[in-house]
Amino acid sequence: MRPDANSYRDAWCGEVLPGRVGETVRLAGWVHRRRDHGGLVFTDLRDRTGIVQVVFNPEVAPQAHAQSHDLRSEWVISVRGEVVPRSEETVNPDMPTGEIEVRATELDVLAPAATPPFPLDEETVVDEALRLRHRYLDLRREPMQVALALRHRVTQAIRDHLHEAGFLEIETPILTRSTPEGARDFVVPARMQRGAFYALPQSPQLFKQLLMIAGFERYYQIARCFRDEALRADRQLEFTQLDMELAFVDEEDVMAATEGVLGAAFAAGGVELTVPFPRLHYDDVIARFGTDRPDTRFGMEIRDLGDALKETEFKVFRGALESGGVVRGINAGRHELSRAELDRLIEFAQGQGAGGLVWAYVEEGGGWRSPVAKFLSEGELRAIATALEAAPGDLLLLVADDAGVAAQSLGALRLELGERFGLIGAGHWHALWVTDFPLVEWNDDEGRWDALHHPFTSPSEQSLGLLPENPAAARARAYDVVLNGVELGGGSIRINRAEVQYRVLETLGIDHAAADQKFGFLIEALKHGAPPHGGIAFGLDRMAALLAGRDSIRDVIAFPKTATGQDPLTGAPAPIDETQLRELGVRVDAPAPQP
Ligand code: ASP
């Protein structure tokens, strides 16, 4: 970065490199550290680009040196001085600017600073609540500077790529009507229509479809989305999506466009993704990995043992198979675990809903060391070993249960063991598509079918005839991108005919009248010539966190909220005045929260 010379600076701290020895530079920034060595005062001066050492020497510049005694951490200063080589003993090979220092001739104190409530060096681990309370200080720390700069590069690469590919970036409203992505809406009381409320968008879904109907054909937006949901598992109430929509496309077109933009985004973060991503059928990933977010960086795939156990006399297995369930297992490899560790694995599987977990060690000669060995025939042991490609010494783990429970528990166990046995190599990036999702899933609490993706997702052509009577068998033209076991994004080909939209909504328990009332504007638009269209959306926060190697998306968001949805910096959410409430026609029942 080259600054235009101004009265504060004509060079950046991080760029005062040995090639500039002999030059006079003017720098500005924050005092990172200060050491008073009797005669000489050393400061590390920090700006956005890095740190450089500035020396105040009473013999060179008596006035600046006298002023420098007052400097403290985080004071804002501007200095002029000469770039000189450091003496050999004081060279710091860990710093890009470690071979030189700036011998100050002038010092301007631009602003003093209170003592920071925590050190701003990288090493100190600071409580997150404190970091968020003083986020502007936390953001001065190098890891945060690096993370947000990375996020910017990723976003910029997305914009450049999509611009080149003919996409238009179009903003959609924040004050709008409910968009059903399955979460609770945030609502805003409308002062000018008392008693009515705007909803904040859970995604720009309906607007991007309207933009396709409006003829824009290729749209994208770095869109802020709002979902009022419990913040388990590293979510935020407001988050950012890369949102895209294309007209006159099928699944393959959207996938190809997506691979292009993701390739560019990840390249900007220094990661090369191999394209095209493999396409895996939903049924296949559930069977093999027990989840629709498979981590394919390691094997240990789930195998069905129904065939091997067709004739089994063993009560537990037989019972499961006869009642329509399954027996499935994984080969955890050659890992000798203690009895206590095996017990913990059983508890783990039970915690995932499984009735139990059978463990077995394969012995030389094909026998098993296992609590259930005596209940299984030699042929069954062999058939199971073959299905699981087991060799002597391997640990086999089996679940006999309903198919969903077996998938869930073995899938979780597989991840747990993959982690524990160190099978997930760092630096591996496995992206894939999951396709052919079911159209709907049963919502037990509400006693109705819910869209698995959202209600505007097109059923496959073959599935159309199944609606509304037999929705369970229907498939959606939906697809998800999964990276290293994390769902990065998902989308679908949409319904572009009003009568199909009515049929899908009816399947979801929304009759004609209710459909008109809730989504009348979309259905009306569909009647005015909607092209076939489809799109996708990605969590940009998650993408940036993965690339930055951070566990939490909070580390790639400048001003995130806590798990309870609060912002310790501004104190949001906060009560509002009586007058404001009256204007809005809103009465609050709850007692005001304690600040
Ligand atoms: N609107 C969807 C979501 O936010 C994505 C899509 O279907 O494009 O998850």
Identify any residues that bridge with 246 across adjacent strands, giving them in sequence order.
Answer: 218, 534
Cβ atoms within 10 Å, residue 572? 11
Helix (H) or strand (E) holding 102: strand 100-111
Residue 22 near residue 82, CB atoms below 8 Å: yes
Residues 582, 588: Cα–Cα separation, whole Å? 10
Residue 372 near residue 314, CB atoms below 8 Å: yes
Distance between Cα 243 and ligand 1 center (Å): 7
Pairing, β 100-111 against β 50-56: parallel
Report which ligand 1 atom has the smallest distance to the Cα of 225.
4
Cβ atoms within 10 Å, residue 97? 24
Closest Cα to atom 1, ligand 1: which residue?
A: 205
Report which ligand 1 atom has the smallest distance to the Cα of 202.
4
Whether 203 is in the pocket of ligand 1, judged by its Cβ within 6 Å, is yes
Report which ligand 1 atom has the smallest distance to the Cα of 489.
9
Distance between Cα 428 and ligand 1 center (Å): 27
Whether 492 is in the pocket of ligand 1, judged by its Cβ within 6 Å, is yes
pLDDT, tens digit only, all 595 positions of the chain: 766 788 899 999 999 999 999 999 999 999 999 999 879 999 999 999 999 999 999 999 999 999 999 999 999 999 999 999 999 999 999 999 999 999 999 999 999 999 999 998 877 788 889 999 999 999 999 999 999 999 999 999 999 999 999 999 999 999 998 877 788 999 999 999 999 999 999 999 999 999 999 999 999 999 999 999 877 768 899 999 999 999 999 999 999 999 999 999 999 999 999 999 999 999 999 999 999 999 999 999 999 999 999 999 999 999 999 999 999 999 999 999 999 999 999 999 999 999 999 999 999 988 999 999 999 999 999 999 999 999 999 999 999 999 999 999 999 999 999 999 999 987 899 999 999 999 999 999 989 999 999 999 999 999 999 988 899 999 999 999 999 999 999 999 999 999 999 999 999 999 999 999 989 999 999 999 999 999 999 999 999 999 999 989 999 999 999 988 999 999 999 999 999 999 999 999 887 776 6
Helix (H, G, I), strand (E, B) or coil at 169: strand
Provide φ and ψ at 278, rounded to 5°: -60, 145
In 227-315 the beta strands, taken as DSSP E runs, fall at 238-247, 279-281, 303-304
Residue 16 near residue 102, CB atoms below 8 Å: yes
Contacts of 136 (CB under 8 A, 6+ apart): 569
Whether 181 is in the pocket of ligand 1, judged by its Cβ within 6 Å, is yes
Residue 416's Cβ-count burial label (10 Å; 0-12, 13-18, 19+) is middle
Residues 587, 576: Cα–Cα separation, whole Å? 11
Residues 492, 535: Cα–Cα separation, whole Å? 6
Q: Where are the alpha helices (DSSP H) in 364-511?
A: 378-387, 403-420, 498-507
Residue 257 near residue 162, CB atoms below 8 Å: no
Select from 401, 408, 286 the least CA-distant residue to 351.
Answer: 408
Whether 458 is in the pocket of ligand 1, judged by its Cβ within 6 Å, is no
Distance between Cα 338 and ligand 1 center (Å): 46
Tally the C-alpha atoms within 13 A of residue 437's C-alpha that lie toward its C-beta: 25
